[in-house]
Structure 1
Amino acid sequence: MPTVDLVIRGGQVVSPEAIIPASVAIDDGRIVAVGHDDLMPAGREEFRADSLYLLPGAIDSHVHFRDPGYPHKETWATGSAAAACGGVTTVFDMPNTKPPTGSVEALQMKLRAAESSYVDFGIHALLGDDTIDVLEDLLEHGATSFKAFVGNTFGNLPAPTDGALLEAFEILAPLGIRTTVHAENSSIMARRQKRMEEAGRIDSQAHLAARPEVCEIEAVSRIVHFAEWTGARIHVAHQSSADALWVIREAKRRGVDITVETCPQYLLLNTEDMIRLGGVLRVNPPIRDARHNQPLWDALCDGTVDMIATDHAPHAIDEKLRDSIWTCDCGFPGVETQMALMLSEVNKGRATLMDYVRWSSVAPVRAWGLYGSKGVIAPGAHADIAIVDMNRQGVLSHGLLQTIGKLSPWNGRFVQGYPLHTLVRGRFVMREGKLVTEARGWGRSVKSIQKMPVPQPRNVPSATRNILQAPTGAPQDARPQVDAVTPAHLR
């Protein structure tokens, strides 16, 4: 049997179905064998993982690495270093950078910036009124997916009109590409914030009052209808409220291709923390009342919510600590702390390690077309592995974070369960809890391995391509023939 690059011996390999004692052989960046230690080939390097667990590296579908445009907040080097030290091996970056990732030129700028990444990555390009005509060009040049800011957030990108959103879904449905949606109603939020500002309210709770749960209910409902009509694939970002879960459950029951993420802050924090931390905790959607926490946990457990993401969104310290809540930038770092927070909840009995692997690895790679290459510890897959110690205890601290934005709501929080080592395609990018600086630039785009399932478009009469022209041979006032498939609840 030939010698391989690395053999990890003596660990416990975790999948969504089981935890088994096994060794893992790695060669040329991929896993070549998983099984009994006696059956493993010799390795040029051998690593003992006794009493440790081998998890597929976490896939974070929602990060803001701020590069290009805001290097004082974050860069690809610092953001991906934070990911590596958090057991995250692949990230998907959001388009609200400067310039926004809504043109081929802006996408190429971002891809150049990402050449310094420690971890693998996908790029969500911008879906807006001004990008409809270049969606396919963006895909051709390296975008993996799209993001529609139906609710406003940092960068103040205009929300796409309903007409543009529907047209984009008509284009993307036959391609099988998934669109992430920030689902809040911008009109309601803008009016309420203006009214409160005029009344002189600058307290932290004003942010929550400006973005009530109905904003999420309405926006999720709207995108579900457009997706159901067209067959487009959608992904709901940072699900924050219990009240919108029924919309998602019903959509999934009807067969809408919808995936959903929530974040540790919506599972573990509430308005009591917002009162205590003020602008540090300003984020969109807002941190809500405690009544939402357990229903979101329940939704993760029953599959209504598919995955964990972080909405990692760092800012400079002075941009978060301001007197008025309206002038505190929205977001905070999270990619480095997610795994420790969730493993701590596993240790408390709220979930199993198998559940966590399903939420952090398997569901994301299925959503973004990476299953088989990533998200599993199995022969043929990339050797993306987080090696964790479920007994390691500690306290999360601002000062230990790799991110530039060293202001975290998790500062001072006790955790039990840490990633100690992270491998990306067989290479250590974090070892013994320390960043391997020589691995900077090791990350690669996942575009070349992305294989989305066969698309299932509906009610798309070559839609947008024929908006400005009548069908060949038809009178100019004739309507194109549409093979409409109307969902039962809309008939």
Structure 2
Amino acid sequence: MSKILIRGAKVLGGEAQDVLIDGETIEAVGTGLSAEGAAVVEAGGKVLLPGLVDLHTHLREPGREDSETVLTGTRAAASGGYTAVFAMANTFPVADTAGVVEQVYRLGKESGYCDVQPIGAVTVGLEGKKLAELGAMHESAAGVTVFSDDGKCVDDAVIMRRALEYVKAFGGVVAQHAQEPRLTEGAQMNEGVVSAELGLGGWPAVAEESIIARDVLLAEHVGSRVHICHLSTAGSVEIVRWAKSRGIDVTAEVTPHHLLLTDELVRSYNPVYKVNPPLRTERDVMALREALADGTIDIVATDHAPHPHEDKDCEWAAAAMGMVGLETALSVVQQTMIETGLLTWEAVADRMSFKPAKIGRATGHGRPVSPGEPANLVLVDADYRGEVDPAGFASRSRNTPYEGRELPGRVTHTWLRGRPTLVDGKLA
């Protein structure tokens, strides 16, 4: 049916209203709406948000289809309430040419579960030595505007400066994986009391903070945009806060797992907790929450990093870094930010839809729930509580740190331009 009537939904967590979808757009928002022949969804007070946008997703295709594909990753995204994701460039081959980003873009179109915007590599092969074809990727059918060597830091200051200068010409942004490689050689977890007690190589906070400090100064010098991926320390928060106070064009993201989990969990030696950047201290977690609340950190991004079973079911030192996150992100944010009183649902929409869409220039996403806007929407049962069971994930991988943990909230419906992709918790 071309018309859908969502009845009695709390739009952005406010008063219950009806929302009428006609085709790909929202026709009306109000109370007592009716539409002859429309399919009716009884929201019953569930929260209605604009479709979520993830600026940091690893879909693994091409090259690592054993861990994820564009199809399975976008199905996971729809299950988590996302209508658009930005796919990182560390694929095989690397997304450093127009041909590869167009392949990912086409696969996203074919999947149909959410829009996929490829992120182009900053340097050829993620090797940090030579700028990739930034202009060609921007001018391709994929229209790339975000560039990142995520998984590796652009540690050469000259290369980083050149990248910032290049993307400035078309309003692009460089998304930096802030990790000074010489300070993290052999690092296995956050450097601190726990790493000392466990005898694991420490990953110092300064390895992240020093790169962020350098890059915000470079962005100021060039007059360009820089985005900080998966910010994880209290010190990094202070650097970004200082940079914003100077008017530097910097944005930053935090992952759900860095809002909830700490390095104390590494005492189990369970590789599911091994991630880059590493889980930090309780002090860092509290600083990240406060920074997300006050706007120093702009957005929540999942850093969804799927791995096959054998890459995680091994000893700690040999295990791959990363966690899946698309299907649990909103629940973790509800627990850490909504239930603690730090954010409202309207503010969550800002951090998980409006702002990431603006940073990445995702056309048609991150729009108000208003007449005439694209019907990219997600319906959330905020009263639900349940244990996380990865067996039910749509993702091809199961490396979640939340298995067996009780989390609040459940996405029940997702619409992509008026077309249901998730209905009553099941993929359409």
TM-score, length of structure 2 as denominator length:
0.91
Question: What secondary structure is seen at the aligned counterpart in 1 of 2:138?
Answer: helix
Match among 106, 116, 128 for residue 112 of structure 1 = 106
Matches within 5 A, 1:74-473: 74-114=68-108, 115-128=110-123, 129=128, 132=131, 134-141=133-140, 142-149=142-149, 153=151, 159=154, 161-190=156-185, 193=187, 206=200, 209=202, 211-325=203-317, 327-345=318-336, 346-370=338-362, 373-436=365-428
Match among 63, 70, 89 for residue 64 of structure 2 = 70
Cα distance in structure 1, aligned partners of 2:8 and 2:328: 26
User: Which letter maps to 2:4?
Assistant: L
Q: Give, in angstroms, the shift of residue 333 of structure 1.
A: 0.5
Cα distance in structure 2, aligned partners of 1:375 and 1:274: 39
Cα distance in structure 2, aligned partners of 1:135 and 1:350: 38
Residue pair 2:83, 2:114 contacting (<8 A) in 1 also:
yes
1:313-333 CA-partner distances (Å, limit 9, x unpaired): 0101110122242x2111010
Question: What secondary structure is seen at the aligned counterpart in 1 of 2:234?
Answer: coil
Cα distance in structure 1, aligned partners of 2:386 and 2:414: 18
Aligned to 1:49: 43
User: Which letter maps to 1:170?
Assistant: E
Question: What secondary structure is seen at the aligned counterpart in 2 of 1:244?
Answer: helix
Aligned to 2:54: 60
Cα distance in structure 1, aligned partners of 2:199 and 2:147: 28
User: Which letter maps to 1:94?
Assistant: M
Cα distance in structure 2, aligned partners of 1:41 and 1:130: 59
1:247–1:76 Cα change, 3 Å: same
Aligned to 2:14: 19
Q: Give, in angstroms, the shift of residue 379 of structure 1.
A: 2.0
Aligned to 1:462: none
Cα distance in structure 2, aligned partners of 1:121 and 1:371: 11
Larger mean CA deviation between 215-224 and 316-325 belongs to 316-325
The share of aligned pairs that are identical, in percent, is: 30
Residue pair 1:314, 1:332 contacting (<8 A) in 2 also:
yes
Cα distance in structure 2, aligned partners of 1:4 and 1:405: 34
Cα distance in structure 1, aligned partners of 2:130 and 2:4: 45
Larger radius of gyration: 1
Residue pair 1:277, 1:409 contacting (<8 A) in 2 also:
no
Question: What secondary structure is seen at the aligned counterpart in 2 of 1:60?
Answer: strand
Residue pair 2:262, 2:279 contacting (<8 A) in 1 also:
yes
1:243–1:350 Cα change, 3 Å: same
1:380-429 CA-partner distances (Å, limit 9, x unpaired): 22211111111112110121111111121100111221111111111111
Cα distance in structure 2, aligned partners of 1:98 and 1:213: 30
Cα distance in structure 2, aligned partners of 1:235 and 1:380: 31
Cα distance in structure 2, aligned partners of 1:9 and 1:215: 50
Gaps of 5+ in 1: 195-200, 437-491
Cα distance in structure 1, aligned partners of 2:178 and 2:112: 29
Gaps of 5+ in 2: 189-194
Residue pair 1:391, 1:417 contacting (<8 A) in 2 also:
yes
Question: What secondary structure is seen at the aligned counterpart in 2 of 1:407?
Answer: coil
Residue pair 1:102, 1:131 contacting (<8 A) in 2 also:
no
Cα distance in structure 2, aligned partners of 1:42 and 1:131: 60
Q: Give, in angstroms, the shift of residue 228 of structure 1.
A: 0.7
Question: What secondary structure is seen at the aligned counterpart in 2 of 1:412?
Answer: coil
User: Which letter maps to 2:403?
Assistant: N
Residue pair 2:153, 2:180 contacting (<8 A) in 1 also:
no
1:437-484 CA-partner distances (Å, limit 9, x unpaired): xxxxxxxxxxxxxxxxxxxxxxxxxxxxxxxxxxxxxxxxxxxxxxxx
Aligned to 2:192: none
Q: Give, in angstroms, the shift of residue 4 of structure 1.
A: 5.8
Residue pair 2:153, 2:177 contacting (<8 A) in 1 also:
no
Cα distance in structure 2, aligned partners of 1:271 and 1:205: 13
User: Which letter maps to 2:408?
Assistant: Q
Q: Give, in angstroms, the shift of residue 44 of structure 1.
A: 2.9
Cα distance in structure 2, aligned partners of 1:106 and 1:370: 19
Residue pair 2:270, 2:316 contacting (<8 A) in 1 also:
no
User: Which letter maps to 1:96?
Assistant: N
1:133–1:82 Cα change, 3 Å: closer
Residue pair 1:4, 1:42 contacting (<8 A) in 2 also:
no
Cα distance in structure 2, aligned partners of 1:270 and 1:205: 17
1:78–1:174 Cα change, 3 Å: same
Matched residue pairs, number? Answer: 415
Cα distance in structure 1, aligned partners of 2:199 and 2:107: 37
TM-score, length of structure 1 as denominator length:
0.80
Q: Give, in angstroms, the shift of residue 7 of structure 1.
A: 1.8
Q: Give, in angstroms, the shift of residue 112 of structure 1.
A: 3.4
Aligned to 2:191: none
Cα distance in structure 2, aligned partners of 1:372 and 1:109: 22
Larger mean CA deviation between 226-235 and 127-136 belongs to 127-136
Residue pair 1:7, 1:43 contacting (<8 A) in 2 also:
no
Two-structure CA RMSD over aligned residues (Å): 2.3
